[in-house]
Amino acid sequence: MPELPEVETVRRGLLPYLEGQRIERLSLNRDGLRWPFPPDLVQVATGATVTGLRRRSKYILVDLDRGASLLIHLGMSGRMLIEGGAVGDFHRDPSILPRHDHVVMETGAGTRITLNDARRFGMFDLVRDDASPLLTSLGPEPLSDDFSGETLAAAFAGRRAPVKSLLLDQRIVAGLGNIYVSESLHRAGIDPRRAGGRIGRARLNNLTNNIKDVLTEAIAAGGSSLRDHRQASGELGYFQHSFRVYDRENVPCPNPGCGGTIRRIVQSGRSSFWCPGCQR
């Protein structure tokens, strides 16, 4: 599933083609994806002007001038495709099958933007005043000033759950997933199995700084393309070439002088990659 850097990369790619544009037409090619489309989705979106694009956790919000926002989640395999274009000229990759085009927006500038989702785990919803429970239950954004060692200390206080599991809890911090938590814990030198409530403030300060650094670097690299992720332009992300531990089981630890070997363990049904030599 795309994590924060991949979703932010898609948002930035869509921005010049949607912001300030009128949605001349919105077409739905099925009844829904993860759940049914709202019955008034086409009516509200058609003719509306896009006033901005935001990201909250792993969701993209397309703000409309009608007091509502389109809420988009890419699920496991969703892609936002751009064809035609007011800024550039894009053409569809022939390997992306049109039968998976589920939502199509056409702007006044002649751009066609499509949600293509082969597995249909994505979503395309309509929200007002960000009132959806999908948004109201989320924790702070990890790249915001609201996220700090103090924030984690308060959330982890008295908790015996492993720090890896706590960081994946979207109520504690929004947008993190398996890849970037593994990478951040390795940089911070923290064992993913360590109880969150037993990590001191100084180490939590270091952890939050590393989370911010990893996410910033991943966004600059266009995210990580392991299976389905593509930027809105169709290009691959390339942060996967900078992984230190994720998906690198049995590879020597890259930290100078460590001498350890990357291992994989399963936590709450998810793979965690870590180095027992330098993560304590």
Residues forming the active site = 2-3, 58, 270
| 149 three-class SS | helix
CA dist., res. 67 & res. 21, Å (int): 16
Cβ burial of 92 (10 Å; 0-12, 13-18, 19+) is middle
Q: Which residue, chain included where needed, has tokens 């308060």? A: 154
**CB within 8 A of 279, min separation 6: which ones?**
185, 186, 189, 190, 191, 192
Instruction: Tell me which residue of 87, 77, 81 sits closest to 103, measured CA to CA.
Output: 81
Beta carbons of 180 and 215 less than 8 angstroms apart: yes
